[in-house]
Structure 1
Amino acid sequence: MTVSTRHTHLTELRAAVEDAGDEAFVVMDDVTHTYADVGRAVDRLASGLLRLGLTAGDRVLLMLPNSIEALWAWWAVDRLGAIDVPVSVEAVGSSLRHVLLETRPRVVIVTADLVSRIADVMQRASDAPEIDLVVVVGDDFGAPRLGTAQVTTISAVMDAQDGAIELPTLLARSTTATVMFSSGTTGPPKGVMLSHGYYGHAMHAYDEVLELGQGQRIYCTQPLCHIDPRLVLVQAMASRATAILTRRFSASAYWADVERYDVHAFVYIGAMLHLINKQPRGASSSRRRIGMGSAIPPSIHRAFCERFDVDLLEGYGMTEMYTILCQYPGEHGPGDVGRELPGTTIRIVDGEDELVDDGVPGQLLVRPDDPSAIMQGYWNQPEATVAAWQGLWFRTGDVVRRLANGRIQYVGRVKDSIRRRGENVSAWEVETAVNRLDEVLESAAIGIPADVGDEDIALFVVARPGMVLDPAKMRDAIARDLPRFALPRYIEVVDSLPKTSSERVAKATLRERGLSARALDFDTAPGRGRR
């Protein structure tokens, strides 16, 4: 079946309801939702939100765990031309306040237990946004109020039947659909603006890689506030396949789910594979499957493929442009992230933007044929948007090299960001939270290779003169402002930080020096464990 690549996720949903309405689209919590089920639910929720005054351009904060309601909310908001702003359920303190102040949502769709967290953040903000409506997902309706905002439940919104209401026509591909906050590098996280056409482009970008067909199943455990599961859903829909989503990753349940649902493909981050591989051996895999993801630990690549009878296809993408590089069936193995996906052109350049020779590391620049394939810019940050594009090339901030076989090897980052268990963590954000503490003079956060792939966060801290630092108390204090995945595994109190001639912290020197025996490891510290 061929579907026009000019579709968006919403026009494709309409087409899928018409030609595959009774087919399974999403399985969540072992409940199957057909294409028709999802289409009806999205229209009902969109109609209810329209009755309550949601209009095109309004921002809607989505702070929800993986659930079918999270999908409905995402697409219902987009259906009205409003802009969804997905946020991790682990967002707290300054990181959550930053998103609220940047996007100033009129509506919040959230579980009851998280409303109090938003209320606490808003009380501490001097310029808090005026939230008009709080839509609570779930049966527990004991949520506190957010100022004068109306509070209701998602069921009540969807069940409202006070006369017919006409939904607006489906929107142009250039309409902004989402503002998704990616990692900051030299400043706070930036809101990446994604269009309706961005999702439409992604529907077919991986056709030659996934080889996903009608009725097949694809499995994903990442949260819907990230781009991976969102694109799994649109790719499944374009193929009239079934997306299997879970509420969270479980190493012990992962492969059992893959077998139980007999999936054709699964999407992972590298750290997951290490943990899955450590699980007790069960029965042999029932058939060969495809895994697609990033950061595969080279030490387990071959063993994992043989044990679970899979082809692991590693790729490279980012929220700003997801469809850049990927290995193809028959061209995979450890050591590279594949080659350009259709419609993508890349350059590898040195510090003067001159092309480098094959084998020489350089910054990856990218340019898509379809303008919808890349972000529209950074929300409220025109300077950062201009800086990201130079000469019509998007600067990824990552260092790669082209191998003799033409494929691309990932080397590292130009930008000051840390990749921890599938999350991009802003070193600046970690340092800002730490530097607020009275006893801290300055700090530096870096990523160091983790045992399970990606990186762990190491924090070096200098005390103010005459003060004593307690790493455990410090970590507890910054937990009020940082999500769990952004908390440092290692904290080392040092006398000083190495500096460049311009008095910036020389992080390359810190990485070369590494941790000393004085560093406290919070994964092994007695009585601490993992938070």
Structure 2
Amino acid sequence: MDIIGKRTLRSLLADKVKQHEEKVFIHFEDANEQRYTKTYKEFHKEVNKLSNAFLKLGLKKGDHVVLHLPNNMEFFTTWFALANIGAIMVPTNILSTADEMKYIINHSEAIVFMTEAEYLEKFDGIRREIPTIQHTIITRCNQAIEGVFDFNDLIENSSDGTEAFPEILSEDVVAMLYTSGTTSKPKGVQVTNANYIYTGELMSKSINLTENDRPFIVLPLFHGNAQYYSTMSALVVGASIAFTEKFSASRYFKQAKALGGTVGSLFAAPIRMILAKEYDENDRDNSIRLILFAQSVAEHQLTEFEGKFNLKLLQMYGMTETIGIPLINPINDIRKNMSIGKPSIGYEVKLLDENGYEVADGEVGQIAVKGVRGRTLMKGYFKNDEATRQTFKGDWLLTGDNAYVGEDGYFYFVDRMKDMIKRSGENVAANEVESVLVEHGAVYEAAVIGIPDEMRDEAIKAYVIVNKGSAVSEAELIKHCQERLAKFKVPEFIEFVEDFPRTPVGKIQKHILRKLLSI
């Protein structure tokens, strides 16, 4: 037996309720700065009631339910209620268009759709094109809407008994997270009970989380980061969670302190956004001891952030498909946050060349992660056997990301394989050029892509956001790069922009930048 055993989300929550019945489990601040709490006992009772309401609606084990919700309390209740009965949560981005939602609903064959009143209009034009949907449920709505179930009414009219719940296994799929499509349609990553419990165990042990901690969530709940690293790590140790409906750079530490958050999780963009705000010395006196982060942040920004806010930053590496974080900087050893750390508990990591052979230390190769499908790695892609076969080579999951191992034994991220630029036969990592650009004091953020070039295969173009109050010319930045990079890595073109197209967690959408060039 492994660390997961036969546990499920249903059994895990029930166990924690026995241990911490009257402890506040959830602390929430909504968009109007109103705060709410819910104890383990209250949450569990509401979850069981909603589970019975779903059964009354005809939901069965294996059915898919689409959640099109902002960060709210109802998201958590629905997630665990569906897991109770073996139904599958399909969380989606509230910024998704009607066409994008039509694809996800039809591909997942969802039979129930949950959202809020302000998003209903988005679906009016596609009602006839999503024939599998049998019921629509609305959360946080104060008026009756014809043909739509009210979330609170469903709970009030249900019992909290568990007699009708079906048998649930650790290997059962309980969620499906769609990856953002760049060159193809989004793929549905199948996540099991075991997956969730494993990443909770892994994360809690990797950052020394205890029942006295309170992970602070500001990233979207539909994203794996908030579910895997924050919620599940809290639940497995019997901690509480704090979360907000929206991220606010200026109020991040004030919200954390008010809600009692102790461990944060951010991406590079939110870190830069916080640094760009006028510094409030009171924010140094905050409750956060540690912030996990991913994606490239300049070394001087890391130093500034830790110094201003009196906390530790810890870079890690993971993706929706790996479930847990296969690489992380050690909490009890030397942190090298320009690296993505070392292999974590339960995973093996190696770097492969284009022929599938392991590269030597110091050489760049694709990150491959060894684990167990359905337990420490995703079960597979829904209705996409070909993509699953391409991603898994035996027990190894191919990430599509390049890295190298330094002499110190730490892994250093290079770039997404698809973001490598081919210039005159030389491979150029866009991330390396971006890192040099943000070293310039006037540069806030940079995005580098390859553009077609008849002579050199690809030319290098950089998009740059300048810090407020700063000024710099294209020639100055090119000179800055020439002094720090080999000639073939220096960008030929620099375009100054106000912002980049981004995902909800702040990742730059380079595929959209590339499309803009062809318009």
Give yes or no for the alignment of 1:137 onto 2:139.
Answer: yes
CA–CA distance in structure 1, aligned partners of residues 496 and 144 of structure 2: 40
Give, in angstroms, the shift of residue 263 of structure 1: 3.0
Instruction: Find out whether 1:521 has 2:497 as its counterpart.
Output: yes
1:269 is aligned with what amino acid? F
User: Does the CA contact (< 8 Å) of 2:329 and 2:337 recur in 1?
Assistant: no
> 1:5 touches 1:203 (CA, 8 Å); kept in 2?
no
Aligned partner of 2:272 among 252, 271, 274? 274
Of 120, 123, 145, the match for 1:118: 123
Q: Does 1:166 align with 2:134?
A: no
CA distance in 1: counterparts of 2:60 and 2:268, whole angstroms: 40
Partner of 2:258 in structure 1?
A: 260
Give 1:311's aligned residue. 312
Q: Secondary structure, in 3 states, of the residue corresponding to 1:36? A: helix
Cα pair distance change 1:230/1:454, threshold 3 Å:
farther
For residues 142-157 of structure 1, the aligned pairs below 5 Å read 143=145, 150-157=147-154
The match for 1:251 is: 249
**SS in structure 2 of the partner of residue 356 of structure 1:** coil
Q: Please name the residue that 2:19 is paired with.
A: 19
Find the residue that maps to 2:257 and give its secondary structure: helix
Shift in CA distance, 274/510, structure 1 to aligned 2, threshold 3 Å: closer
Q: 2:184 aligns with which of 184, 187, 197?
A: 187
What's the CA shift string for 1:146-204, capped at 9, x where partnerless?
xxxx5210111112248977332451111111111012343111111111111011121
Which moved further from structure 2: 189-198 or 451-460?
Answer: 451-460
Measure the CA separation in 2 of the matches of 1:4 and 1:309: 35
Contact 2:450 2:460 in 1 (8 A): no
Distance in 1, matches of 2:72 and 2:288, equals 29
Residues 13-412 of structure 1: pairs in structure 2 closer than 5 A: 13-29=13-29, 30-123=35-128, 125=129, 128-141=130-143, 143=145, 150-161=147-158, 166-169=163-166, 171-231=168-228, 232-279=230-277, 280-283=279-282, 284-285=284-285, 289-295=289-295, 296-323=297-324, 324-329=326-331, 330-368=333-371, 371-412=374-415
Shift of 1:142: 6.0
Indicate yes or no: 2:414 matched with 1:414: no
Q: For 2:270 and 2:225, locate their aligned partners in 1 and report how far apart those are by CA, in whole Å.
A: 14
Deviation at 1:287, TM superposition (A): 6.6
1:47 partner letter: N
Deviations 1:250-291 (A, max 9, x none): 001101122333432111112111121233222233577111
Superposed displacement of residue 141, structure 1: 3.8
Q: CA deviation at 1:394?
A: 0.8
Q: What SS does structure 1 have at the residue aligned with 2:19?
A: helix
Are residues 139 and 122 of structure 1, via their aligned partners in 2, closer, same or farther at CA, if it must alter by over 3 Å?
Answer: closer
Offset at 1:520? 7.9
How far did 1:359 drift?
Answer: 0.8
Check conservation: 2:176, 2:189, Cα contact below 8 A: yes
TM-score, normalised to structure 1, is 0.77
Distance (whole Å) between structure 1 residues aligned to residue 8 and residue 455 of structure 2? 48
- Shift in alpha-carbon separation, 1:206–1:58, aligned structure 2, 3 A: same
Aligned sequence identity (%): 22
Deviates further, 90-99 or 406-415: 90-99
In structure 1, distance between residues paired with 2:99 and 2:444: 28
Partner of 2:507: none
Cα contact 1:271–1:297 (8 A) shared by 2: no
Q: Which residue of 2 aligns with 1:439?
A: none
1:251 match: secondary structure:
coil
Q: Distance in 1 between matches of 2:445 and 2:60?
A: 40
List runs of 5+ in structure 2 lacking aligned partners: 30-34, 421-429, 463-488, 501-519
1:391, distance to aligned residue in structure 2 (A): 3.3
Matched residues in 1 for 2:174 and 2:144: separation? 31
Q: Report the Cα offset of residue 120 of structure 1.
A: 2.0
Shift in CA distance, 155/235, structure 1 to aligned 2, threshold 3 Å: same
Q: CA deviation at 1:104?
A: 2.0
Partner of 2:427: none
How far residue 241 of structure 1 moved from its aligned partner, in angstroms, is: 1.0
Q: 1:5 to 1:263 in 2, by over 3 A?
A: farther
Partner of 2:510: none
- Displacement after TM superposition at 1:140 (Å): 4.0
- Aligned-partner Cα distance in 2 for 1:394–1:352: 15
Q: Deviation per CA, 1:328-381, whole angstroms, max 9, x where unpaired?
A: 123213320111111100110111111111111100111125751111111111
Cα distance in 2 for partners of 1:131, 1:251 equals: 38
CA distance in 2, matches of 1:111, 1:59: 18
Size of the aligned set, in residue pairs, is 445
Q: Deviations over 1:44-74 (max 9, x none)?
A: 0010110111111111000011111011111
Partner Cα separation in structure 1 for residue 93 and residue 139 of structure 2: 15
Inter-CA distance 386–70: structure 2 relative to 1 (3 Å threshold)? same
Cα separation, 2, equivalents of 1:223 and 1:288: 19
Q: Structure 1's 161 and 251: CA in aligned 2 closer, same or farther, altered over 3 A?
A: closer
Report SS of the residue matched to 1:25.
strand
1:69 counterpart SS class: helix
Alignment CA distance shift 1:106-1:369 (3 Å): closer
Write the letter of the residue equivalent to 2:43: V
Q: Which amino acid aligns with 1:281?
A: D
Q: Distance in 1 between matches of 2:66 and 2:88?
A: 9
Q: CA RMSD in A?
A: 3.0
1:401·1:410 contact (CA, 8 Å) conserved in 2?
yes
From the superposition, tell whether residues 509 and 273 of structure 1 become closer, same or farther in structure 2 (CA, over 3 Å).
closer
Kindly tell me: are residues 459 and 36 of structure 1, through their superposed partners in 2, closer, same or farther at Cα, counting changes over 3 Å?
farther
Residue 94 (structure 1) shift: 2.7
* Runs of 5+ unmatched residues, structure 1: 418-445, 461-496, 525-531
